Structure 1
């Protein structure tokens, strides 16, 4: 059986825990079998273990191999489509329920870090940066919207104030959310996996699931073993492949790129981001960046539809880094990688159940760090028989991409180009 390691990223190079967990061998039984050891799967497993369930997690590669171990490391509240979109399209009651949960993921992360003493370089404070006056107007509306749902930790930044937190001339203003922040994403999920095992959970790496037999008790098969379980949680997201065609039909893997500089030194790093907040701009194809614990600039952006690996990640991302911070024009790039997230047409997560006992959550559409931690909680609630919050997500309508699986990539890329042009022209 081929061994799959982490991608060559800064996160993998600086991971706290590089242990290999054994592949599944033989036949086993458990209460819940979780497919995928990223944030969704590990979060679900941890909540279930805290309520006394037996849990086995099967991972095709390594814990945090996918988006959970490759993302920008930013704690961002709400969903990829904000609560006002839910209000307009689905009505006040569903918006109320989803709005009440929109800020819960960030709290869950901080609770996990504190409870299990996870070393993941947690820092408070996230900035949304406006490139245009129209984007600044959107941030003003977002602040009022979030306050209606009880979130009062956002403050607006005018042109002078944003220069005090981001040393660039690009932005006309922004907002600061102190309940946002940033983490070393791979160390977060590795710490949560350690917590799973501390509570008696079992994690098998290098254990790709080949099929799931449905029934009163489901049977989950790998190349070398099987797990019989009362419940199954499918948490593969963009890395699920064709395991569940009914799930992949209404979603599309997309790639985003990240580069990491050489260490900048304390003085230069502090001159760029004096308060050590993370930043994302408000463009449709946005840039996002922050400092690592050892004072590197981690800078990401761009989307490759269909999740193809670009030939030269640095060439794609570095121009935007230099545009944002001309001070870094001669800096060396030590790491460059791509990672996949799962996009839905609605940009809202897809949550549901197949048959009576196979649960799933997927399609964070770029807002996965916080949502996946919430997803683990609502999936565990549903398995425990408390389905109200699960149902609020499960009843969201979802649609196939125009053109089907053959044409979804070019059609979506055309749409993205349109919105990118709008950003550049300030429409």
Structure 2
């Protein structure tokens, strides 16, 4: 017999007790009629989903909509408070009933909460709808409010909260909130026509919010997909550059290993065998690398043109300057050559940053700086505020240039930053680790 101590192994008595409890539960459920069981099966999941909550849509949740919601929530909250009082003519009497004042203020509170916590706001508004007969006077002249039979302030708050909930959440939460809100208002409505009207209004508001959320989510996914495509394109370009550079060095290694016995006569047989083994290993590595990386080329042909590096940045700046951009260039890279891959990457980062400046800040003064310090190449491209309206950058390719530069720097193990400057301009800063300097 177990003592109930945590970690003890269950004995036969525990198993029998658990089985007996399950049997009694099944028998008790079987004794209940089908109607209560159906109600429980339908209502319990709804209550569980809404009470437990769920994470909002990760793409278009409340955090991404706060700015837009505040613009609408502020006047809506004021309108809800004012219109909650209007049917009772509280502005025409000298003393206000405390419960009317409290109900009016509570009508605006869910609107404010819905900006950041739409599910919490819904719980509060559902409670207000459920308790409406107890919080408003029984003799309220509701029928005189433009023929509208409901409390206008509470109706406005409910509509806004349902809309915010549908904008932030998906699936069961939205459906459960609509069903429970309609159920909370159902006992207070006098006939079936108002029942149908309340259900349709709630459903319409939530369908509108869900439609806007779906459209916004599609837009954000499209932008994210374009950013991923830009990153993959940049990664492919880097792989092609590495293919060209490494292929060149491996080819030179194979040639030198093959020519070593002829350039150095009198070598011992074991030394000749070592050179032959080195040649075979280099040739196999070159073949394997071409097999893996050569597939990245869309045209199937190797690029034979030399890759631009830091030495070509001055010519690049001259071309942009000839197009009307005032550019100040400062290169301090020292006498030693940069490691393989750093030069072409620096060139392309500067080129993309200059292109962005020309598109988004035409007429602005641009400063380009490259400096080697503490084993890192620091690239800085900054511009002042635009002197004239920006050119059309192409609405279908937002921030792809920045995404490509960031991916290139990330692949090389560096750091990338791009942000507006205090004077209204923009700055791009990339730091690339040099590792060991090239041998020359």
| Structure richer in helix, relative to its length | 2
| Structure richer in strand, relative to its length | 1
TM-score of the two chains, using structure 2 as the length reference: 0.18
| More relative contact order, 1 or 2 (CA 8 Å, 6+ apart) | 1
TM-score of the two chains, using structure 1 as the length reference: 0.18
Which protein is bigger by CA-based radius of gyration? 2
